[in-house]
Structure 1
Amino acid sequence: MKVLPLYFLLIVLILLEPTTAKVFRVNKMTCQTLDSSLCHFKTCEVVHKENGRAALYFNEVIDYKKPIDDVLLNLGVFKILKNRRFQFVNETLDFCAFSRQLMFATGIFGFVMAPILNISNINFSCPLQQSNIIFNGFVIDENTLKEIPIPNGVYMFNIRAAYMKRWATDVKIYASRVEKYS
């Protein structure tokens, strides 16, 4: 009989916990440039709206002047417990392959990419030739990511982008999954 690793059991317990939470309350967002020769952030802010709702705004300026035909996106979701972080999602997406087949997004990227199509100026084609990537108010409300069955708690969504095989950006969004906005 094989013994399951402790982290696997923890993930199963986290995912099987009753999911009565309905909304995410965003606490903060940080944007970090990992390679300043490729890009930098002009703005990075969370605008808190009524009753705990929020909108995320950021403007990434791409300093690389040639077309970018190698883009990787990585999404990690962590549950934060006191002094530990447990990662239970780690997905990487080849943006150029994805842009050719938009309807075939799988996993958590399928949940995340649909609302992004509506609020960003991203040209979903490769090579990327734009100089600014603007997320103009990604609204976090009752309808945002409601399909993701995760329990109440504090989470960190970590989104990293690599251009030309070099990690360029690291965006972290800290949010709490709660019953309702107060």
Structure 2
Amino acid sequence: MLAPVTLFLVLAPVSLKAAVILMICVPMIPVSIVAVQKFAKRLLGRYWGQYAALGDSFLENLQGLTTLKIYRADEARHQAMNCEAEHFRKVTMKVLTMQLNSIIVMDIIAYGGAALGIGIAARELAAGRVSLAGALCILLLSADFFLPMRALGSYFHVAMNGMAASD
């Protein structure tokens, strides 16, 4: 939380407009994390439950393989296991899609905010309100403005997976 505030304090004397725009965009990343968290918690809870059930089913089938072979039920069980595995694959793809969409939203906010800050700095450079050194400073630091919040978003996904697995 201190990195964006520190960068704001560094960039405010160079261009207050650009610094304010960058600072306004920073809290949007945690807001997007909170919005995704509600959906992710429910989805990950089901995912880990199905993961455990698939593992239990596989172990049970493996332990009963001799019995299945004796009664010639191994092919039917094989088909059932394929169905369970396909269902789990689809659930896994939903989890990965949710995580990818969350990352995309955070990237759009971060890089869109950086682009807005750079655009304002370029406009102020063209108008003569910011020096070339100041515009370059904003250009180079605008992406760094969002790095701590992006890292927070990454930690969020790791933490959600861990919490759902432990439950």
* TM score, norm. by length of structure 2: 0.24
1 or 2, which has the higher strand percentage?
1
* TM score, norm. by length of structure 1: 0.22
1 or 2, which has the higher helix percentage?
2
